[in-house]
Amino acid sequence: MSAPTRTLSLPQARPSAIDWQAGETALIVVDMQNGFLKPGGYFDQVGYDLAHAPGTIERVQRTVAAARAAGMLVVYIQSGFDAKHLVVGGPSAPVWHKSEAQVLMRERPELAYQLITEGTWDYELVDELTPADGELVVRKSRYSAFAGTPLDQVLRARRVRNLVLCGVAANVCVESTLREAYHREYFCLLIEDATHHAGPAYLREATLWNVERFFGWVAPVAGLEAACDD
């Protein structure tokens, strides 16, 4: 992919306007998978409200379209476990205790190796978001997309220094990824209405406040679209 020289200007970004080069910017689409967004999937089994899902998917589609129009690198993150769950590590690993998928699969043996596990429907990206040629998919087994993955190397090899993030869940995997990106010296923009939380609504507000105050910038999909259409 040739690096565009166009400038992405978002005057309405919070807490201040940003001007980034598209060729130095990547869109990180976090965990837009059946398990997190579709009836019968992992989040549905746990009991999370999926009423937001169609709207969230539509706004992420718009975010991807804007990024493509600007010539930005698009990276999809897939969260979950290998087919045998070797990456989980067992009771000695925090993820064994804190992953709701792992806990639910132990509580309900009929779900064993079915939730966000490679090779299952639950693990796949939603049909509405199909990576195009040249777009990347990075698989992770922890909340942050940098943990145990080649994401940092993939981005640095392409001289990316700015990240636009969207997806699910705002207060878990999206925020974990964004925080770690900050500590790796990336500038980060969270697309607030193309990102949804897990749990009470105040968690989304807390994430937006944290990002705007401490870790990066926040803007709506429409702001990114306007920047990419200029």
Write the CATH number for 57: 3.40.50.850
In a domain, 95, yes or no: no
C-alpha distances (whole Å) from 116 to each of 92, 110, 120, 144 are 21, 14, 7, 16
- For residue 48, give its domain range: 7-77+128-229
Q: Is residue 206 part of a domain?
A: yes
**Pick from 121, 164, 153: nearest CA to 30:** 164
pLDDT tens sequence for the chain (230 residues): 444 468 999 999 999 999 999 999 999 999 999 999 999 999 999 999 999 999 999 999 999 999 999 999 999 999 999 999 999 999 999 999 999 999 999 999 999 999 999 999 999 999 999 999 999 999 999 999 999 999 999 999 999 999 999 999 999 999 999 999 999 999 999 999 999 999 999 999 999 999 999 999 999 999 999 999 86
Catalytic one of 166, 173, 188, 228: 173
Number of domains composing the chain = 1
49 classed as catalytic: no
What's the confidence (pLDDT) of residue 229? 83
Q: Alpha-carbon distance 204 to 210, whole Å?
A: 10
Which of 38, 140, 193, 228 is flagged as catalytic?
A: 140
pLDDT at 5: 63
Is 173 assigned a catalytic role?
yes
Catalytic-residue membership of 82? no
pLDDT of residue 1: 42
Residue 219 lies in a domain: yes
Considering the domain boundaries, does residue 152 fall inside one?
yes
Within a domain: 89: no
* pLDDT score, position 128: 98
Asked if residue 107 is part of any domain, the answer here is: no
Q: Please check whether residue 2 lies inside any domain of the structure.
A: no
182 by Cβ neighbours in 10 Å (0-12 / 13-18 / 19+) ranks as middle
Note whether residue 72 is domain-resident.
yes
